[in-house]
């Protein structure tokens, strides 16, 4: 059984304008790797309805699991929930279960549960709520699409709520060897070694520090014994001096 495949859709002008450096992609990549879900693609699009809907439809058709980040707050630029509803052809309005959660939250806070805040209870018909212990306003899952907030603390809490509901496969294991030689010197024997292990992936990540060239070679796979075997062969090929 191969692992489920996943894609992420990051929604936000603030990432594309360079104002904010995205943090959620890196977090999700690490969590999915541990959970045995293969993140295969990430797209970042702006707060633009057609762009969001096109990306949603391409990704939900192409991957087992899709996670979105951003655009589910109370302001006019928060259009993700409506885009998801449109992509699925589902009806969307303020839903009683989400409204009840938020109404209780704002009552505890002594804040008004006004029209803008009620926008955060807009959930497509057929969706399941994703728990948000940080700021209450829920995410939601619609078939294989899981819609989450963009604020990193809230995104991370929602990922924790979601993961138990996603059946992962074998976690992707990796080991790495730091080789203090230029990539151009190790490339040929490394390529020949990689060809002997078709089930594993061999990545080479060059670096240069203080005029010295080196590469981190990473071996990845879900079979721990095979990764160990390949690492032993790699170490023999490039003995550390």
* Residues making contact with a copy of itself (CB under 8 A): 13-22, 25-33, 39-47, 51, 73-77, 106, 111-112, 114-117, 119-120, 135, 151, 153, 172, 174, 182-188, 190-191, 194-195, 201-208, 215, 218, 220
Minimum CB distance to a copy of itself smaller for 116 or for 233: 116
- Name the residue among 134, 24, 128 with its Cα closest to residue 71: 24
Whole-number Cα distances in Å, 13 to 23, 53, 74, 153: 14, 16, 16, 19
Minimum CB distance to a copy of itself smaller for 31 or for 86: 31
- Name the residue among 81, 49, 50, 87 with its Cα closest to residue 68: 81
Tell the smallest beta-carbon distance from residue 42 to a copy of itself (Å). Answer: 4
Minimum CB distance to a copy of itself smaller for 48 or for 143: 48
What's the start-to-end Cα distance of the chain, in Å? 41
Minimum CB distance to a copy of itself smaller for 125 or for 178: 178
Q: How far apart are CA 185 and CA 190, in angstroms?
A: 9
Tell the smallest beta-carbon distance from residue 141 to a copy of itself (Å). Answer: 22
Cβ proximity of 70 and 113 under 8 Å = no
Tell the smallest beta-carbon distance from residue 153 to a copy of itself (Å). Answer: 7
Cβ proximity of 63 and 5 under 8 Å = yes
Tell the smallest beta-carbon distance from residue 201 to a copy of itself (Å). Answer: 6
Tell the smallest beta-carbon distance from residue 13 to a copy of itself (Å). Answer: 6
Cβ-based burial of 207 (10 A; exposed 0-12, middle 13-18, buried ≥19): exposed
Minimum CB distance to a copy of itself smaller for 17 or for 89: 17
Minimum CB distance to a copy of itself smaller for 59 or for 142: 59
Q: How far apart are CA 46 and CA 212, in angstroms?
A: 40
Tell the smallest beta-carbon distance from residue 29 to a copy of itself (Å). Answer: 3
Q: How far apart are CA 109 and CA 117, in angstroms?
A: 13
């Amino acid at each position: 059984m191969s692992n489920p495949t996943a894609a992420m859709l990051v929604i936000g002008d603030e990432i594309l304008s360079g104002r904010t450096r995205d943090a959620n992609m890196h977090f999700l990549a690490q969590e999915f790797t541990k959970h045995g879900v293969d993140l295969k693609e990430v797209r970042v699009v702006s707060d633009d309805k057609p762009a969001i809907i096109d990306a949603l439809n391409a990704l939900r058709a192409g991957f087992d699991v899709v996670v979105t980040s951003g655009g589910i707050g109370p302001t006019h630029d928060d259009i993700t929930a409506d885009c998801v509803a449109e992509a699925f052809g589902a009806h969307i309005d303020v839903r009683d279960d989400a409204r009840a959660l938020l109404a209780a939250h704002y009552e505890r806070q002594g804040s008004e549960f006004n029209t803008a805040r009620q926008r955060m209870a807009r959930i497509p018909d057929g969706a399941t709520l994703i728990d948000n212990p940080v700021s209450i306003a829920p995410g939601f899952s619609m078939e294989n699409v899981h819609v989450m907030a963009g604020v990193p603390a809230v995104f991370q809490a929602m990922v924790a709520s979601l993961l138990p509901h996603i059946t992962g496969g074998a976690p992707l294991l990796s080991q790495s060897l730091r080789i203090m030689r230029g990539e151009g010197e190790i490339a040929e024997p490394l390529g020949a070694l990689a060809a002997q292990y078709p089930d594993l992936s061999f990545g080479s990540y060059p670096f240069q520090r203080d005029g010295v060239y080196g590469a981190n070679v990473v071996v990845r796979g879900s079979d721990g014994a095979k990764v160990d075997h390949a690492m032993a062969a790699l170490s023999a090929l490039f003995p550390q001096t």
